Structure 1
Amino acid sequence: MELPMTLQAALAEQLDSAQQAEVLSAAGEVSRRYRAREKKSFQIRNRAEALAYALARMPATYGAVCRALRYSLEGLGGLTQAPLSLLDVGAGTGAAAWAAAGLAELSSVTCLEYADEMRKLGESLMHGEGSPLKQAEWSRLELVSQPIGKRADLVVASYVVNEIREEDRGKVLAKLWEATGKLLLLVEPGTPEGFRVLKEARSRLLESGAHVLAPCPQEGPCPLPDGDWCHFVCRIQRTRLHKLAKEGEAPFEDEKFSYLAVSREKGNLCGARVLRHPYRGKGYVRLELCSKEGLKQQTVSKREGPLYKAAKKAVCGDLF
């Protein structure tokens, strides 16, 4: 998976107009602070850092949201026939909105971001030639203290809730759910902490009347044992600029992510979620699944024809 060509071109154009050495120097510092999750110090302080963040993190965020949103939309069925309005909360430089634009017809797009330099850069990227998001509106929002003030069919908050202080998360989740017309998608790092945050969010949202669309195939307690966590992986192809920002030569990177999708109406998902990379033996495939009945292992043999073909194609995260 890779960024849309129009977004790649817009990022390259922004870098051409900046001091490349300054941006690449900023990339290392931004990446260090991001990985360390230094909540008090992780602030984008200038345009160079905003561009460094976009080069380093937009591909992974785009890929994770793409994958999570594709699985989420599978459960909406007929609800996606009409164009969807989108609200990207904590938008950063707009990666989630770009992902949504590639998967659904969007009637309107609103991006809400507190950091001025991130918001300015995100807006500039969407105004590039050939962009499908030229009509997107950007506004400044401090999510904890201010009301969202808008509502949309699809609300996305990617890598946001985990950054909120624990005592404020319930209030923030209530705001996000209030703003949701059809579908709310939360995406977080695929770590034990990211999963814990989403597991708590799942409980709060179910109490508020939400219905789980994905990844869970049921709305009861999570069947995973203590010490385990639900997460998935998307492989991102690195561009030349991405390699520079990451100071690496590998042609790809793997982004581990966890997600939760809830809706106003019950979805129509059928099947079980593949939780691990399938084991492909000689003439059989063994799957680790989360089903309506709980965790189970299913072995599909070559003799089972179409089911075997489906099992061979399945990857971690798919419905089976």
Structure 2
Amino acid sequence: MSRQYSYPASFEESLTQALASFQLTLKDSKALAKCVLALSDYFIQKPEAPTPWNETWAQVAYLCYYLPLNASRLRGIVAEAEKRNFFQGLERVIDFGAGLATASLVLSEKQAFRFQLIERAAEPQKLIETFFPQFTAEEWQRTFSAPKLKDPQKTLAVFSYSLTELSDIPDWAYECEALMLVEPSTQQDGRKLLQLRQKLLDKGYHVWAPCTHEGPCPLLTQSKTDWCHDRVHFAAPEWFLKMEEQLPMKNRTLTMSYLLMRKTPAEKIPAARVVGDRLQEKGKDRQMICRGPEREFLAWMHKTKIEQEIPRGVLVQIPENDVQKVSNELRVQKEIQRL
């Protein structure tokens, strides 16, 4: 079974009303796609430039395209966090570089946090406050510094697609109990996140997900090209599929790199995380897993007639018996149990 997510149902009415303010509907596929392409072209031409929130086409593109996609990605991460009880004891969220408050909107579905949103542009705040009444922020701020930090021992600092332009998280974030870091699943951003993981471990933080261990990351230490990223399937609504027909980009699956870390130690789980797709090779299929500082692969030898498809990102139980270790392979003798 795949891990399938979509944006919250409450978004539909909000998107409808927001687009109506631009004289558009969710059925205006070509007009919506034109805005998405305009923003995509803008970032291709000016990759270091800030989001042009003052432009109508940028606002429409974020509402109808990036908000649904990023919300679906974040729902996958939040679901993983909830499985681990990651949010226990936390009361505040600082959403840095909040944009359209996507991370806060998703978190507020099930968590009764007090939200501080940090966003330089004024337009996202206006859109959220006008068209998303299901969400209320304690305050929006244009900048943030350590003196504004309230009760850091109960604070989750969220950086969702906002670290790309930074060399490190701000100093005040290291005072917070918990961190949620979400980045694009590119090699550059993914490896940068792995380097930050080690720095946070050195500063006393503990990894809650996706890692099931706190040793050196084998994708970083034993490879110059690998990076860790997760994947979920996107349950796209009909209006999104119609818009997507006008676009060169298709989004049946969504990828992201992420870290959930706290100063409080996580409960240890004797499991491995599947961090690769199934690779078909001569005589066997292999799938990379992570459970320690070594690069390891589950391996299904074709002669065993065992066929198993494990979605990337899920936790699996590695049996003490029924696997044969050969080099970096764990050769499977029976189906692996998902957790």
Q: What letter matches 1:139 in structure 2? A: W
SS at 2:10 equivalent: helix
Q: What letter matches 2:267 in structure 1? A: N
Shift of 1:162: 1.0
CA distance in 1, matches of 2:50, 2:90: 39
Q: Show the 5 A alignment for 1:10-25.
A: 10-20=14-24, 25=34
Shift of 1:291: 0.8
Shift of 1:259: 0.6
Matching residue of 1:228: 226
My pick for the range that moved more, 187-196 or 57-66, is: 57-66
Asked if the contact 2:191–2:226 (Cα under 8 Å) also holds between the matched residues in 1, the reply is no
Shift of 1:257: 0.8
Number of aligned residues: 296
Matching residue of 1:9: 13
Matching residue of 1:149: 149
Asked if the contact 1:89–1:156 (Cα under 8 Å) also holds between the matched residues in 2, the reply is yes
Matching residue of 2:311: 315
Asked if the contact 1:213–1:263 (Cα under 8 Å) also holds between the matched residues in 2, the reply is yes
Q: Which runs of 5+ in 2 are unaligned?
A: 317-339
Asked if the contact 1:76–1:267 (Cα under 8 Å) also holds between the matched residues in 2, the reply is no
Q: TM-score scaled to structure 1, two decimals?
A: 0.79
Q: Name the CA shift for 1:161/1:59 in 2 (closer, same or farther; >3 Å).
A: same
CA distance in 1, matches of 2:288, 2:218: 13
- Backbone CA RMSD of aligned residues: 3.3
CA distance in 2, matches of 1:258, 1:62: 14
Asked if the contact 1:26–1:52 (Cα under 8 Å) also holds between the matched residues in 2, the reply is yes
CA distance in 2, matches of 1:147, 1:195: 31
Shift of 1:289: 0.9
CA distance in 2, matches of 1:23, 1:147: 42
Matching residue of 2:164: 162
Asked if the contact 2:146–2:172 (Cα under 8 Å) also holds between the matched residues in 1, the reply is no
Matching residue of 1:39: 48
Corresponding position: 1:259 with 2:258: yes
Deviations 1:16-48 (A, max 9, x none): 121338765433221223456622254322344
SS at 2:218 equivalent: coil
Corresponding position: 1:88 with 2:77: no
Matching residue of 1:139: 140
Q: Name the CA shift for 1:193/1:258 in 2 (closer, same or farther; >3 Å).
A: same
Asked if the contact 1:23–1:49 (Cα under 8 Å) also holds between the matched residues in 2, the reply is no
Shift of 1:5: 1.7
Shift of 1:298: 2.8
Q: Name the CA shift for 1:137/1:238 in 2 (closer, same or farther; >3 Å).
A: same
Asked if the contact 1:286–1:298 (Cα under 8 Å) also holds between the matched residues in 2, the reply is yes
Q: What letter matches 2:128 in structure 1? A: G
SS at 2:52 equivalent: coil
Q: Name the CA shift for 1:12/1:192 in 2 (closer, same or farther; >3 Å).
A: same
CA distance in 1, matches of 2:43, 2:12: 22
Asked if the contact 1:162–1:197 (Cα under 8 Å) also holds between the matched residues in 2, the reply is no
Matching residue of 1:207: 202
Corresponding position: 1:186 with 2:184: no
Deviations 1:71-116 (A, max 9, x none): 2343346x62x674333221111211222233x4324233221111
Equivalent position to 1:242, from 223, 240, 243: 240
Q: TM-score scaled to structure 2, two decimals?
A: 0.75
CA distance in 2, matches of 1:159, 1:17: 27
SS at 1:106 equivalent: coil
Q: What's the % identity of the aligned pairs?
A: 23
Deviations 1:129-180 (A, max 9, x none): xx2x2x323412335x78653445332211011122x3xx25x2x32232x2
The higher radius of gyration belongs to 2
Query: When you count helix as a share of all residues, which structure comes out higher?
Result: 1
SS at 1:315 equivalent: coil
CA distance in 1, matches of 2:107, 2:50: 30
Corresponding position: 1:290 with 2:255: no
Q: Which runs of 5+ in 1 are unaligned?
A: 302-307
My pick for the range that moved more, 110-119 or 3-12, is: 110-119
CA distance in 2, matches of 1:13, 1:227: 44
Q: What letter matches 1:120 in structure 2? A: K
CA distance in 1, matches of 2:228, 2:181: 14
